[in-house]
Homo-oligomer: A and B are copies of this chain.
Amino acid sequence: MADLNEMTKLVEENRVHKSVYLEPEIFDLEMDHIWGKAWVFVGHDSQIPKTGDFYTTEIGRSPVVMVRAKDGEVHVLHNRCGHKGAKVAGKKCGNTAGFRCPYHGWSYKLDGSLIGVPNRKGYSDTGFDIKDPQFSMTKVASVANVRGFVFASLSADVPSIEDFLGDTIRTINNVADRAPEGEIEIVGSPLRYEHDCNWKMFVENLNDSMHPMVAHASVGSAAKSYLADQPEGTVYPREAEIIFPFGSSYEFFDKMGVTALKYGHSYMGGQASIHTGYSDIPGYMEAMEASYGTERTKEILSQNRHNTIIYPSFTLKDAIQAMRVVRPISVDKTIIETWHFRLKGAPEEMLKRTITYSRLINSNASMVGPDDWDCYRRMHEGLTSSSAEWVDMRRGLGEDAEPVDGGGERSFGTSDISFRNQYRVWAKYMKTGAENA
């Protein structure tokens, strides 16, 4: 397994070998070659508005802390003490004047530089140098802040963030532009949902539009049967507006289209998404036009992408103020974090709709999430079968995908093109790392 050249053999034009989902050794390699090389989403800087605010998370298996320094700059530091390697910051988030390791009390500035070593004379004539980076909380090699969205890579040898994001940057910009003040703000703590599956199953599913009308049929029919029992002229509840699009037809999704981009990214829709039909929220258009004028507002709101995937770690939508973060734990454990944000300057009603949406779709107790969970789990249960070695991804191979301006190739919405794109890139990463992915 550990032979990297083997890796490319696991991906063919129209299928991938089941071991990419099942083999612990491959997961270990992914931690180094994908999660250790790619730009990975860390957090949004609105989580740490004030100097000394910090937020702890992991990039792959490396504990890191995102912190706001005195100069207002956002640093992403390795959350590892330069002395004997203890994790320094234990809390999920907080505010501090500086970092202090609780084991032997080494202390660090907010930029990770070591400033305090108790009883220091014990290090005289040992070659110890307080300035030596090995003793600091070192900075993660590459960090970029795009409209407040902080990405980082454990590797210094990465493409520029612009090159990496490519056309997905338009999703990020659109998400922020939809705020009359042009900024978003994270609200509350996230949903943290444990999935007993390989992280790639979740990522594939994001642009899998062959599944909603099947795997999520029950909640739609339950909602319909409920409405059928209501008296004439019952007002159509927002919940229905959120649930029903998951039952949209194949034609609808095919028309929406799916676009595959460099580095494994992709998105569905463009002009239209399953959220296009949402009713307007009073005061929002006014606020937008006041900020942007009619033209620009129309332009902003005309972009409608459903589930933009920034491979491998991150997904967001234009029209819903929620983002999901992929946290691979082991070959068959993945935690999905869902974060929610406010469009600064927009009516609070926008936030409330997003919260309702996410509770109905992303919560571990929703009537949607557990059905996705179950499908991933069933793949694990089925792939252990000795009866087959490969997972098919040929759908759409028959049509020529047309190039899209802004880059990438567009195919009909239910094509497997985004899966094939992900694994083409996966194989490159596994062989060589990000630089030539």
Chain A positions within 8 Å of B, measured between CB atoms, are 14, 18, 32, 36, 60-63, 78-88, 90, 102-105, 118-119, 122-128, 134-135, 138, 140, 154, 208, 210-211, 214-215, 250, 254, 371, 374-375, 378-379, 381-388, 390-392, 394-399, 412, 414-415
Contact = CB atoms under 8 A, between A and B. Distances in A.
The 4 nearest A-B residue pairs measured at CB:
A125-B398, A86-B378, A87-B381, A119-B250
How would you classify the secondary structure of chain A's contact residues: helix, strand, loop or mixed? loop
Contact of A382 (B60, B87, B379, B394): B87
Given A122-B412, A395-B123, A385 B104 contact: no
A375 B86 contact: yes
A220 to B, nearest CB: 14
19 contacts: A14-B126, A14-B127, A63-B382, A78-B385, A79-B382, A81-B382, A84-B379, A86-B379, A87-B382, A102-B214, A102-B215, A102-B371, A103-B214, A118-B210, A119-B250, A122-B415, A124-B398, A125-B399, A126-B396
Contacts of A118: 210, 214, 250
Contacts of A18: 85
B250 A63 contact: no
Contacts of A82: 388, 392
Contacts of A123: 394-395, 398
Nearest to A138: B387
Given A14-B127, A104-B215, A122-B396, 14 more contacts: A14-B126, A60-B386, A61-B385, A61-B386, A78-B385, A80-B385, A80-B387, A81-B382, A84-B379, A87-B382, A88-B378, A103-B214, A103-B379, A126-B394
Contacts of A88: 378, 382
Most chain B beta-carbon contacts within 10 A, residue among A62, A378, A383, A398: A378
A251 to B, nearest CB: 8
A74 to B, nearest CB: 18
B84 A391 contact: yes
A65 to B, nearest CB: 11
Contacts of A414: 119, 122
Nearest to A31: B386
B126 A79 contact: no
A304 B133 CA distance: 40
Contacts of A378: 81, 86-88, 90, 102-103
Contacts of A395: 122-123, 126
